[in-house]
Amino acid sequence: VVAWTFRHVDLQEPWHPDGTRILRPAVPLLRSPGTAQLVGVIDSGSPISVADARLFGQLGVDVDNDPPLYEVGLTVAGHFARAPVFAVTLWLNPPAGSGAAVSWNLPLVARRGWRLPFAVLLGQRGWFDRFPTRIDAMSCTVEV
Amino acid sequence: MEVPRMVGPHQHTGTARRHDPLVDEPAARPSATGHALRPVPVETMVEDRRSRLVPVNDDNIERFRGRWVALSPDGEVVADAAELDELLALVEHDGPRPDVLVQRVPEADAPMFVGLG
- What is the least distance, in Å, from the CA of A55 to any CA of chain B? 6
Q: What are phi and psi of B62, to 5 degrees?
A: -60, -40
Band of the pLDDT at B25, cuts 50, 70, 90? very low
What residues of chain B lie within 8 A of the CB of A74, using their CB? Answer: 116
Say yes or no to pLDDT of B21 above 70: no
Three-state SS at B10: helix
Q: pTM score, two decimals?
A: 0.79
DSSP B85: H
What residues of chain B lie within 8 A of the CB of A5, using their CB? Answer: 48, 51
- What is the least distance, in Å, from the CA of A121 to any CA of chain B? 9
What residues of chain A lie within 8 A of the CB of B91, using their CB? Answer: 36
| pLDDT value for B8 | 52
What residues of chain B lie within 8 A of the CB of A6, using their CB? Answer: 48, 51, 53
Q: Which of A23, A118, A139 sits opposite B103 (nearest CB)?
A: A118
User: Distance from first CA to last CA of chain A, Å, rounded?
Assistant: 7
What residues of chain B lie within 8 A of the CB of A43, using their CB? Answer: 115
A112 in reach of chain B (CB within 8 A): no
- Identify which has the larger pLDDT, B42 or A87: A87
Q: Which of B26, B106, B117 sits opposite A12 (nearest CB)?
A: B106
Round the CA-based radius of gyration of chain B to a whole number and report it.
16
Q: Which chain A residue is nearest to residue B51, measuring alpha carbons?
A: A95
Q: How far apart are CA A15 and CA B4, in angstroms?
A: 28
* Beta carbons within 8 Å of B55's beta carbon, 6+ residues apart: A9, A10, A11, A12, B21, B22, B75
Cβ-contact B6, B90 below 8 angstroms:
yes
Q: List % helix, strand, coil for chain B (3-state, nearest 5).
A: 20, 15, 65
Q: Which of A27, A93, A138 sits opposite B45 (nearest CB)?
A: A138
Q: How far apart are CA B112 and CA B21, in angstroms?
A: 21
Read off the pLDDT of residues B71-89 as tens digits, 9 standing for 90 and up.
998 889 999 999 999 999 9
Could you list the pLDDT tens digit for every one of the 144 residues in chain A? 899 999 999 998 888 889 999 999 999 999 999 999 999 999 998 999 999 999 999 999 999 999 999 999 987 556 788 999 999 999 999 998 788 999 999 999 999 989 999 999 999 999 999 999 999 999 999 999
Q: How far apart are CA B111 and CA A8, in angstroms?
A: 20
